[in-house]
Amino acid sequence: MTKKKILDYFTIGNAPGGNQDWLPEWDMNMGGCAAVTACDTCIYLARSGDKFRSLYPFNPENLSRQDFINFASVMKPFLRPRYHGVDLLETYICGFYDYLQKIHNSALIFEGVSGNVDYENFAEAVINQIDRNLPVPFLLLNHQDKILDDFEWHWFNLAGYEELDDDLNVLTVTYGEYQWFSFKKIYDTKYERKGGLIRIFER
C-alpha cells in the first residue's frame, strides 16, 4: 500500500506560497528564491502555533501579496541575491540563523543534507520531515533533464510526497504553483556537484 502525505500549506490569493515574480526589486525578482523559500517556511510555521508566531512580522491568518513582498524585503539582507546565488546549504542556514537572531527567536535548529548522500538516506530525510508536518527547503543546482530547467540553481520547498513501488513522488512549491516530480529524477542530476536540502528541528 502506497503512502501519501501533503502538508496543509498556506495560500496567498489562489497561489500556494509566495511568488518570486511578485517582487519589484530586480535582484530579488531574478535571484530571490532563497529568501522566498525562507519566507514561506516562516509563514507556514507562524501559522502552526505561538512558539513560531514571531517568525512572521505580519498577520499569518490574513495573508496578502503586499505583506509577502514586504516580508521578502525584510528577509533580503539575510539571504540576499549574489553573483553565484545562495549555492551552499551552509550559506542558507547561516542566513536563516541570522534572521532568527534578529527577531530573538531560537526555536529552530537547521541541518543540511547534501545531495551527494545516497538516494535512500536523501529520500528518508524528505519523508521524515514532511511526516513531522514541516516543509523541506531544497536547493537544486544544475540538472541535465530539461523538464527541470525552471528549477536549476533554484531554492524551493517540498510540501508533500507519495511513495510508489519503485519511486517517490514529491510535491514542489515555487513561483506560486504546485508541481509533482519523481524524486529519483530530481536526485539524479548527472552532475558531480549537487545541492541538497535543509532538515528543520524544534529546540
Q: What is the pLDDT along the chain (203 residues), one digit of tens a residue?
A: 679 999 999 999 999 999 999 999 999 999 999 999 999 999 999 999 899 999 999 999 999 999 999 999 999 999 999 999 999 999 999 999 999 999 999 999 999 999 999 999 999 999 999 999 999 999 999 999 999 999 999 999 999 999 998 899 999 999 999 999 999 999 999 999 999 999 999 99
Contact present, 113 and 128 (Cβ < 8 Å): no
CA distance 32 to 19: 10
Domain ranges of the chain: 4-202
pLDDT at 2: 74
CA distance 5 to 18: 21
Q: Does domain 4-202 have CATH number 3.90.70.30?
A: yes
**Given CA atoms 114, 119, 125, 126 in this order, what sign does their dihedral have?**
positive
